[in-house]
């Protein structure tokens, strides 16, 4: 009997009505408190993808984390707000015990082949994953074990020594563990797999929480299929930390230098 990948278990949704889905957090993707945010990003997207009226492929997804998500059951509602000839606009919300815990909007589109050009530079040549050590897992939350991360730079500090860094950027290879073919949902999760920049910058732990996360999909189904289950390249940087909120930008690149996705987020932090 085939075993379901833990990622597919984590984003599994059971339709209970049209556009209404029941789901639950899984221990495999637990964070320090509640589930890993990337799973919530993927769950919100999955609700729209599973909807019988879904049209085309995801282009943009914004998830707002309205409150910490508790371990356990949740309900997701996805509503197409407007469907045009080639684009579709979604509103999605996740609730627990009747209270909204996350909201999202998504845009889907049927793409056509056009003139194309990557203007941002793909990450410069970096060692292949096999030449880099896998990141240490000890003392890290469960979800980190579900990714094989190999850092070129910008892993979490080995010591929380409070020595502030000038540069909190990261560059790494990342792959689902066990390996899994890349999909829109797994790409959405990877787009939120970058450790909070404030930890790398300040080398001290503090309460943090993403409040708004936007993911743009440049990959279409064909590009995802090309990538298969090989590791992708992640790049993340901080833009600004100011009075309780910091901005993080990130990109996910294929191992052949194709830009697969961008993500931006505003993250709450406490001193």
| Residue 175 vs 202, nearer CB to a copy of itself | 202
- DSSP assignment of 226-269: HHTTS-EEEEEEEEEEETTEEEEEEEEE-TTS-EEEEEEEEEEE
CA–CA distance, 212 with 209 (Å, rounded to integer):
9
Work out whether 245 is an interface residue with a copy of itself (CB under 8 A): yes
Per-position x/- string for 135-174, each x denoting binding to a copy of itself as judged by CB under 8 A, each - no binding: -----------------------------x-xxx------
CB of 124 to a copy of itself, least distance (A): 17
Q: Among 81, 205, 225, 227, which residue interacts with a copy of itself (rule: CB under 8 A)?
A: 81
Q: Are 197 and 248 in contact (CB under 8 A)?
A: yes
| Residue 2 vs 270, nearer CB to a copy of itself | 270
Work out whether 268 is an interface residue with a copy of itself (CB under 8 A): yes
Work out whether 109 is an interface residue with a copy of itself (CB under 8 A): yes
Tokens of 190: 């990877």
Neighbour-count burial for 199-237, b at 16+ CB within 10 Å, e otherwise: bbbbbeeeebebebbbbbbbbbeebbeebeeebbbbbbb
Instruction: Give the phi and the psi of residue 84 in degrees, each rounded to 5.
Output: -105, -170
- The H or E element spanning position 185 is helix 184-190
Which range of residues in 1-9, 12-20, 36-44, 82-90 is near a copy of itself by CB under 8 A?
Answer: 82-90
Q: Measured at the alpha carbon of residue 187, what is the angle toward residues 63 and 31, in degrees to the nearest 5?
A: 65
Work out whether 33 is an interface residue with a copy of itself (CB under 8 A): no
CB of 129 to a copy of itself, least distance (A): 24
Pairing of the two strands 57-65 and 99-109: antiparallel
CB of 214 to a copy of itself, least distance (A): 5
Site for a copy of itself in 180-209 (CB under 8 A): 197, 201-202
**Which residues sit at the interface with a copy of itself, rule CB under 8 A?**
59-60, 62, 64, 66-67, 81-82, 84, 87, 89, 91, 93, 99-101, 103-105, 107, 109, 111-120, 164, 166-168, 197, 201-202, 211-212, 214, 216, 218, 220, 237-245, 247, 249, 251, 259, 262, 264, 266, 268-271
């Amino acid at each position: 009997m085939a075993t379901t990948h833990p990622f597919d278990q984590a984003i599994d949704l059971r339709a209970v009505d049209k556009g209404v889905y029941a789901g639950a957090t899984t221990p495999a993707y637990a964070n320090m408190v509640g589930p890993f945010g990337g799973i919530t990003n993927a769950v919100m997207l999955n609700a729209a993808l599973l909807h019988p009226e879904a049209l085309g492929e995801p282009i943009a997804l914004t998830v707002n984390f309205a409150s910490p998500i508790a371990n356990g059951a949740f309900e997701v509602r996805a509503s197409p707000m407007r469907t045009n000839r080639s684009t579709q606009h979604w509103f999605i919300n996740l609730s627990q015990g009747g209270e909204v815990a996350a909201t999202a909007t998504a845009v889907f589109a049927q793409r056509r082949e056009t003139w194309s050009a990557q203007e941002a530079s793909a990450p410069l040549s970096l060692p292949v994953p096999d030449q880099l050590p896998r990141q240490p897992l000890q003392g890290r939350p469960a979800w980190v074990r579900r990714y094989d991360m190999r850092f070129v730079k910008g892993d979490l500090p080995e010591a929380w020594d409070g020595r502030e860094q000038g540069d909190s950027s990261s560059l790494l290879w990342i792959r689902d563990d066990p390996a899994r073919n890349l999909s829109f949902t797994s790409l959405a999760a990877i787009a939120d797999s970058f450790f909070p920049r404030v930890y790398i910058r300040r080398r001290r732990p503090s309460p943090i929480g993403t409040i708004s996360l936007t993911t743009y999909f440049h990959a279409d189904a064909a590009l995802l299929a090309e990538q298969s289950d090989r590791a992708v390249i992640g790049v993340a940087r901080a833009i600004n930390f100011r009075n309780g909120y910091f901005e993080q930008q990130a990109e996910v690149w294929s191992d052949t230098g194709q830009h697969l996705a961008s993500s931006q987020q505003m993250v709450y932090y406490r001193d």
